[in-house]
Homo-oligomer: A and B are copies of this chain.
């Protein structure tokens, strides 16, 4: 009888709301929030329940950071680079063009000092964030015409946002901001020339292959785009330690599970897209090289004028460059041989 109140106190009944930046229909993007809620409920014997709302039901996608900041909801699940207009350094939460892959970002985040730097940044928004999902390297999108040189990008109307859009602008293209629902008809009518979204599984649903058959890769502006679970800081601090551990563990699971699901479903989706007429094309090397230069020119400019960006960029870039060197050795040599051997070695 003496022990009972302590137990009850350490496992209070809590109900939270989580606003996702994605609609339910994109199940790979929406799913990790549900997985986090499910695992936390299971772990706590349903004492800590998180209800997940799709984009727009309580909070519009681009207000999710503000909502977590103000405590409109306790949690939001969103790629925090949505908010680089507020603060360019928020890009490090998600992805920078020519940034680290899924594995490398995890290595930096969990074992390279990334988490501490990002949490310091997010604290300014009254938020603690957790790494909670990744898309892997994305596709470059659907184009109406083939690209041969950088000159082919001149004046090209390309639906692409963020830093990827800034790079494309430096290469001569005209980035377009367009709601997802308007992309198909704009591409069909030729109002725009190209549009990118995520990868085969998500791209297939929008049906762009029917109006723009050239399917380019890689989406070098998102070599691995991470999603964040943002938690209103006072809400987080009110939790018992066991519930904090439950969230931390569930986020790590969701981060890995989202990547595993994308890898599983993208493979089959790509096959279907090719059957539907997608013509796979790698971006010409000249475009990749100019994009590499433009990206790093932008980072240098940001680092000169923005101390927050400079602070994280320094850690991120040193880590990335060393990761790139190591991954060229065992991992990349393995992949380059194995991934083609099934077709070529007899």
Contacts and interface: CB of A to CB of B under 8 A. Distances in A.
A202 interface: no
A11 B4 CA distance: 11
Contact of A329 (B217, B252, B268): B217
Contact of A259 (B103, B220, B288): B103
A73 to B, nearest CB: 23
Interface in A298-345: 321-342, 345
B332 A259 contact: no
Contact of A252 (B1, B200, B252, B282): B252
A136 B336 contact: no
A87 to B, nearest CB: 25
Contacts of A189: none
A206 interface: no
A188 interface: no
How many protomers of this protein does the assembly include? 2
A334 B327 CA distance: 12
Given A8-B3, A112-B264, A252-B253, A342 B321 contact: yes
| Main SS at interface, chain A | helix
Interface residues on A, range: 35 or more
Interface string A183-217: 00000000000000001100000000000000001
Contacts of A57: none
Given A42-B242, A242-B43, A271-B322, A334 B256 contact: no
Nearest to A136: B331
A4 B256 CA distance: 36
B103 A136 contact: yes
Contacts of A249: 39, 43, 246, 249-250, 252-253
A270 B336 contact: no
B137 A334 contact: yes
A11 B250 CA distance: 19
Contacts of A42: 241-242, 245
A310 to B, nearest CB: 19
Interface in A62-88: none
A116 interface: no
B256 A252 contact: yes
A289 B343 CA distance: 12
Given A257-B252, A267-B322, A288-B337, A10 B106 contact: no
A228 interface: no
Interface string A35-65: 0000100111100000000000000000000
Contacts of A137: 330-331, 334-335
Given A139-B330, A218-B337, A219-B334, 5 more contacts: A3-B8, A103-B260, A112-B264, A140-B330, A217-B334
